[in-house]
Amino acid sequence: MKSYPYILAILFITSLAACGLQKTEESTDPVDGKFIIGYVFPGNRVMSGSEINGALLTHINFAFANIVDGKMVEGSPTDSINFAVLRKLREQHPHLKILISVGGWGWSGNFSDMALTHQNRAVFIQSAIEFLKKHELDGLDFDWEYPGLPGNNNIHRPEDKENFTALLHECRQALDELDGDEKHYLLTIAAAAFSGYLEHTEMDVVAEYLDFINIMTYDFTGEWANITGHHTNLYKPELDSTAMSVEGSIELFVNAGVPAEKLLIGAAFYGRSWQEVSPENNGLGQPATGLAGTDLKYKSILRDYLSDPAFLELRDTSAAAPFLWNPEERIFITYEDPESLKRKAKFVNDKGLRGIMFWQYFGDHEETLLRVIFDEINR
């Protein structure tokens, strides 16, 4: 990617000035033993420190770094400036940890080659350590989507399974051996929620090297499917005994040998939608055509759909999941709301899990969803 030093310098000065003018309330550690982790994905724009409430988070996973020529690099020209904004936020909230997430759906294509040999892994790990030190970050989050599987038409190999384990083991060793650093650098992953992911990884082994695991318990279904459903439901719906659920995903990881206290469930600050839906059962579990290209961040759902009387606000009590149904236009929307998050927070506490992570911070509306997570997980 190209860099634009003159423009970035101006943006950097402007951003720091904005941070300096910001007045924040006194911060305290928001969670006693439970984590609230927000993925922050600004894209190629400069954030303001006032956009993020560090008092309601324990960790920020900045998305994403890329892998180029086997090394970890900034994903966007504005990343260095945004890291400065986050460091300023951390000064105001000393409990807050800032991690860099590498990969994601769009940038997982070079993982398999990078992890293929010990030499390749060593080159990457050295670049990752330099990245962490340069930007004064607290840890590294791997978002490989997915080892041994194509994901977004990515290169993948059967040996990804063992190579992923080796990558995490060698990375943990390198982070622990950093000279002159008294801090513990965090090492985490974003893990897929489906059984195929467990078949292509060694979760019982890698869990020993990881501080915790963020399970992406969302996108269970979406506009790529020809049947409507819930995309981030807590429990399996009565209507579909084969459907995925948060509860089912947790059972997969625990049965694979991962301690419950190392697991975080995922929450979605966005929805998925279909059109041309058959009207039976208010559109739930019905044949349909995916409705792609629609802005379904939670704040957009509030503005454009929940405020529209044409959309019925309904709930599948068996799945602990809300949905919207427009019978005239035959549009179905699956999403997350405050009530579903209350149930998820209770589930985390009841099951002894580590906490909740969510994708992503800028999808919320005036901290509506984040505040529910914060309040309920602290009960």
The pTM assigned to this predicted structure is 0.91
Task: Residue count of the chain, please give it.
Answer: 379
pLDDT at residue 19 in the model = 40
| pLDDT at residue number 257 | 98
Q: How far is CA 324 from CA 70, 77, 289, 327, in A?
A: 44, 38, 16, 10
- What's the pLDDT score for residue 13? 35
99 within a domain of the structure (yes/no)? yes
Phi and psi, residue 119, nearest 5°: -65, -45
Closest CA to 331 of 272, 271, 270, 273: 273
275, part of any domain: no
Q: Which residue from 9, 12, 117 is spatially nearest to 70, judged by alpha carbons?
A: 117
Where residue 3 falls (left for φ over 0; alpha for ψ -120 to 50; beta otherwise) is: beta
What number of other Cβ atoms are within 10 A of residue 310's Cβ? 12
Helix (H) or strand (E) holding 299: helix 298-301
Asked whether residue 121 is assigned to any structural domain, the reply reads yes
Within a domain: 5: no
Model pLDDT, residue 55: 97
Question: What is the per-residue pLDDT for 284?
Answer: 98
The SS3 call for residue 31 is: coil
What's the CA gap between 156 and 131, in Å, rounded? 25
User: Does 9 map to a domain?
Assistant: no
pLDDT mean for each 10 residues of the chain (379 residues): 36 39 39 87 96 98 98 98 98 98 98 98 98 98 98 98 98 91 94 98 98 98 98 97 96 98 98 98 98 94 97 98 98 98 98 98 98 96
Pairing of strands 263-268, 272-275: unpaired
Distance between CA 95 and CA 93 in Å, rounded?
6
SS3 content of the chain, % helix, strand, coil (to 5): 35, 20, 45
- CATH number of the domain within which 250 lies: 3.20.20.80
Torsion sign (Cα): 54, 346, 199, 106: negative
Alpha helices per DSSP H over 93-183: 111-114, 118-135, 160-176
What is the per-residue pLDDT for 10?
35
Predicted pLDDT at 366: 97
Task: Identify whether the C-beta of residue 301 lies closer than 8 Å to the C-beta of residue 333.
Answer: yes
Hey, CA dihedral for 212, 217, 218, 219, is it positive or negative?
A: positive
pLDDT of residue 32: 57
For residue 72, give its domain range.
Answer: 29-268+338-377
Query: Do the strands 321-326 and 312-316 form a parallel or antiparallel pair, or are they unpaired?
Result: antiparallel
Burial of 306 (0-12, 13-18, 19+ CB in 10 A): middle
Cis peptide before 146 (omega within 30 of 0): yes
Task: Tell me, yes or no, whether 300 lies in a domain.
Answer: no
Question: Is residue 220 included in any domain, yes or no?
Answer: yes
What is the count of structural domains for the chain?
1
Q: Which residues are catalytic?
A: 145
* Domain contains 307: no
Residue 360, preceding peptide bond in cis (omega within 30° of 0):
yes
Bond from prior residue into 41 cis (ω within 30 degrees of 0)? no
